[in-house]
Structure 1
């Protein structure tokens, strides 16, 4: 398997949306950059940031006047800023944080080509921009990594000792471990999160869907167990890889986490998890590792099975509602956050989701093949 896996890891596929979902122009009146194909907002800055590897990445900075903390968001493999734009605005609003999102080299209107090392330089450049342009201090930053974005998030997070917190959303143990249940780390593997997570000094929140058929829930579970400072994780019952924002417990739990680290300054409960944490971990039996390589590969070899998750995307597309309905759905956010039985009644809870649901149904934020190595037959 060594030669095969080495080749597969070396040819790890990145999936920037093609064509990009947005453009960047210069406003003739103000001289400022603006994004096309998205609604212009007064509280959003569009920037181009140079990296130490010679590329120029596009970033957006969403300002919230009530914010004390800043979220640095690293998105998934098959998304770009145009698709994430509405979600960024909603997160900034609901969590009361400033938020910077950026496109990796080769994504959206960022120059260069995507690679593991480039993504590390990309997040570092975005972080330096936060400090130098906006005066954000390290202890005010929350790193948020979704799927592949957990790689650059943990690379930077493992090197910063005063970070406020880290959020891992459907994270990977490593690139190779997504495809094969290997027990050790090989030199040719990429995004070796399993080796970096113990070096993170701040509180870590892990969010993962129990029915994730792209990155098994066991990845999130193992990363959580390796955290030095654990925070109560969220295992979204029935959640897949690309739909966790549709569940009301997602924003509710995330908001609870932001409030907790905002009040306490820095949590120190890593060695003794709360009763809720222990119960949550013990009840996460759906986060079992896949049984064998054969079963894993069998599930990936069927085109029909590979395409199956796309059906949910088509349903979400068909379920788009009119602008009027979208506006009415925004009023349900308070109800969604106050619902006490959302875990037991996920379908009912979905009906009460706020703007996140409508936004997510109108954007494709992931590709089911987002970890398929180049050259793999579909």
Structure 2
């Protein structure tokens, strides 16, 4: 009987080790799910846009769309989520345009037409390059830039906002850290030991000193609502928390009226605040 128990324990240890090693090796495929084909553009929505190619600090060429809005005061720098590419965000681009906001959305390395392969440090470099393109090539003042990120893109956006000046940071449907996500999906694994990524959104947010709006759905089936509450607790003032409803991927659509009202209110607040709440100086 003892030998049988020992054999069972050994088998369980082997299975556990194989599972842990598999998770370690496959992390990149969980974190990054890029697609390359782009067959729809803002033109499908009758929106004028500029197809942009710009270079990162480490020499890669990235692709993005600059979609101007008539008489816009602010430009949204859009850091999208981990799946697909910029083509899959046309609904959000259209939303921002209808709100009177210009938008610059870009693909991270390895996504869409952008060169390279995605890495954590690479995504931070990509966001910085996009920001510098707006400031240096389009001559858009930092006080007119709203850094926006959804899901994984929110962590990238928070990292950027902790390093540069901007009018505001808006993060949506995101997480506190990569390790915390791992603990949620694999509570039985020593995630902290296996984790190849950090994406410490909560730490970046502590260093953001521009106005922050956090948007999250209580129904989010991927990113727990408690993540957003923890982020809100550490956000510097002024900050705003908006609760929406619906799933992780389409909550902003399901909650259309709430979402639109929240953005309208936030934009009015930013206009009233003027330029007195800028974040950190770009490095």
Q: TM-score, normalised by structure 1?
A: 0.61
1:312-359 residue CA offsets vs partner (Å, 9 max, x unmatched): xxxxxxxxxxxxxxxxxxxxxxxxxxxxxxxxxxxxxxxxxxxxxxxx
User: Are 1:221 and 2:241 an aligned pair?
Assistant: no
Aligned to 2:168: 165
Per the alignment, residue 31 of structure 2 pairs with 13
Partner-residue secondary structure (3-state), 1:229: coil
Pairs aligned (count): 252
Q: Are 1:204 and 2:204 matched, yes or no?
A: no
Shift of 1:9: 8.5
In structure 2, how many angstroms separate the alpha carbons of the residues matched to 1:110 and 1:242?
23
Structural RMSD (CA): 2.8
Q: 1:211 Cα deviation (Å)?
A: 1.2
Contact 2:79 2:106 in 1 (8 A): yes
Once the two structures are superposed, the pairs formed by residues 154-303 of structure 1 within 5 Å of their partners are 154-160=158-164, 162-180=165-183, 188-236=196-244, 238-246=245-253, 247=255, 248-265=257-274
SS in 2 for 1:206: strand
For residues 138-167 of structure 1, what are the alpha-carbon distances to aligned partners after superposition, in whole Å with 9 as ceiling and x for unaligned? 12111001000012101111112x321100
Change (3 A) 1:15 1:139: same
CA contact (8 A) 1:123 1:156 kept: yes
Q: Are the aligned partners of 1:203 and 1:266 in contact in 2 as well (CA < 8 Å)?
A: no
Q: TM-score, normalised by structure 2?
A: 0.80
For residues 54 and 22 of structure 1, the distance between their equivalents in structure 2, rounded to whole angstroms, comes to 26
Structure 2's unaligned 5+ residue stretches are: 1-15, 278-283
Distance 1:4 1:208 in 2: 31
Q: What runs of 5+ residues in structure 1 fail to find an aligned partner?
A: 24-34, 269-378
- The CA distance in 1 between the partners of 2:74 and 2:178, in whole Å, is 30
Match of 2:55 among 45, 50, 55: 50
